[in-house]
Amino acid sequence: MEASSAIEIAKQTLFSGGLILAIGTVTGFVAQKCKIPDVAVFLIVGIAIGPQALGLINIKADSALYQIILLFGASYILFDGGASLRFNILKRVWITIVVISTVGVLITGAVTGFAAHVVLGLPWIVALLLGAALASTDPATLVPIFRQIRIRDRVAQTVMSESAFNDAMGAIVTFGVLAVAMGSGEFSLTASAVDLFKQAFVGIIAGAALGYLAALLIAHERWAFLSEYAPVVTLVAVIGAYFAADGLQASGFMAVFVFGIMIGNKESFGFKMLPGEAQQLDDYVMTTAFIVRLFIFILLGSQVDFHLMSQYWLGGVIVVAVLMLVARPLTVFLCALPDRRAKWTFNEMLFMCWTRETGVIPAALAGLLLGMKAPGASVIASVTFIAILMTILIQAPTTKWLGRKLGLLEEM
């Protein structure tokens, strides 16, 4: 009986996976022809085939399968994003990246929390918890967008780097506020700063070490005995980088992002792959990133709970509008304008104000708060779903149009 039940579960899981893959492939083709970022279309399709609509798939958010897809998918997309960055550009904008990924999260969280307190009438501590959960941007959304739309390099790489680095800061602030909200401790600025530094430092070291080792094995003139297996090496190393950092209580996402940077800049260390091998690796990464992207966003769309959203939809829309139109611009100008080295133009900063999609990371934090029965968890989850829909469906499709209007679009 148990074996039969297991086989049925396996069949249902395989069917759901095949259906998502088939629908996602067609959806990706349509998005390409319409010249819009596919993540927005994947999200809509996920809502349509999820349990709230057609009911074709029903993979629970707390299931092992969903968590595996989310964890691996976000890690691989971050690796892909890191591989597209270049040292010579990062050297010019690193100050902005550091400030906007740390201080910027606090500014965004505080402004959004204030709006939630005023609009939704939430207690201050719950409002700040909501602001903290929404404060980090989403690399799983932003990396694919900038892979499909060619925006001026330093702008795209700054936004992608910010989204990779600010997830640790967002999580630290969220759980710091949660400790106060649940009466289990007091928020310590010093302890949080030390924890953030540790997560960042260890994550960077783990990612850099594994990235250098992988580059050595696939691109070194003498030691590249695994060059023919470069796709498999990168796949193993992405998983290894995440768990190496996670095991050291550091940011696994930061580790895989840095790993990607090392692979993408392997020529800087004197490593160079043969043209055919390099093309094989690029094709593999592009295909794999597309597959994990369609799974992540179709499943994310299928998790949208309209019943939960309906309880706070009007106030939620207003709070998210403040997040998009007030908190984000304030964060960008306060964090980027003082960076004299980068010499940001007004158009560049204006574009960065519009690119702050909410997605996988805030959704995961909201899910954790629901599971822990945190104060105000239902309203936080409701507003998070609204933020995901509004930012991805409004900001993502208009990225190319805005880039062209501001003179930042580079034709491919």
CA distance 170 to 375: 18
Inter-residue contact 127 to 340 (CB < 8 Å): no
Q: Looking at the structure, do residues 52 and 201 belong to the same domain, yes or no?
A: no
Residue for token pair 């690193």: 94
Q: Looking at the structure, do residues 308 and 366 belong to the same domain, yes or no?
A: yes
Q: Looking at the structure, do residues 238 and 362 belong to the same domain, yes or no?
A: yes
38-52, 156-170, 313-327: which has the highest mean pLDDT? 313-327
Q: Looking at the structure, do residues 30 and 172 belong to the same domain, yes or no?
A: no
Which pLDDT score is estimated for 27? 92
Q: Considering the domain boundaries, does residue 346 fall inside one?
A: yes
Asked if the model's pLDDT at residue 349 lies above 90, the reply is yes
* DSSP conformation letters of 203-253: HHHHHHHHHHHHHHHHH-TTT-TTGGGHHHHHHHHHHHHHHHHHHTTS-HH
Kindly state the average pLDDT of the residues 203-222. 86
State which residues form the domain around 14: 2-61
As a residue count, the chain comes to 412
Q: Looking at the structure, do residues 100 and 161 belong to the same domain, yes or no?
A: yes
| Angle between the N-to-C axes of helices 87-120 and 153-181, in degrees from 0 to 180, rounded to the nearest 10 | 40
Which pLDDT score is estimated for 185? 57
Enter the tokens of residue 265: 């800049």
Q: Looking at the structure, do residues 218 and 261 belong to the same domain, yes or no?
A: yes
Q: Looking at the structure, do residues 52 and 106 belong to the same domain, yes or no?
A: no
CA distance 141 to 74: 9
Q: Of 61, 81, 102, which marks where a domain is finished? A: 61
* 3-class DSSP state of 9: helix
In a 13 Å sphere around the CA of 16, the CA atoms on its Cβ side amount to: 23
Least confident of 257-266, 367-376, 377-386: 367-376
CA 355 from centroid of its chain's CA atoms: 12
Q: Considering the domain boundaries, does residue 411 fall inside one?
A: no
Of 98, 74, 35, 7, which Cα lies nearest the Cα of 297? 74
CA distance 58 to 354: 33
Asked if the model's pLDDT at residue 412 lies above 60, the reply is no
Q: Considering the domain boundaries, does residue 66 fall inside one?
A: no
Of 236, 233, 255, which Cα lies nearest the Cα of 246? 255
Q: Of 61, 85, 104, which marks where a domain is finished? A: 61
Which pLDDT score is estimated for 322? 96
Where residue 214 sits, what CATH number does that domain have? 1.20.1530.20
Asked if the model's pLDDT at residue 391 lies above 70, the reply is yes
Q: Looking at the structure, do residues 229 and 363 belong to the same domain, yes or no?
A: yes
| Angle between the N-to-C axes of helices 38-49 and 2-34, in degrees from 0 to 180, rounded to the nearest 10 | 140
Q: Looking at the structure, do residues 300 and 199 belong to the same domain, yes or no?
A: yes
Q: Which residues contact 23 (CB under 8 A, 6 or more apart)?
A: 45, 49, 298
Least confident of 7-16, 189-198, 231-240, 242-251: 189-198
Q: Looking at the structure, do residues 231 and 326 belong to the same domain, yes or no?
A: yes
Q: What are phi and psi of 409, to 5 degrees?
A: -85, 130
Which pLDDT score is estimated for 228? 79
Q: Of 61, 89, 105, which marks where a domain is finished? A: 61
Q: Looking at the structure, do residues 234 and 381 belong to the same domain, yes or no?
A: yes
Which pLDDT score is estimated for 3? 60
Q: Looking at the structure, do residues 145 and 78 belong to the same domain, yes or no?
A: yes
CA distance 234 to 218: 9
Q: Considering the domain boundaries, does residue 170 fall inside one?
A: yes
What is the number of domains present in the chain?
2
Give the global pTM: 0.81
CA distance 330 to 320: 14
pLDDT above 70 covers a percentage of the chain that reads 96
Enter the tokens of residue 273: 């792959």
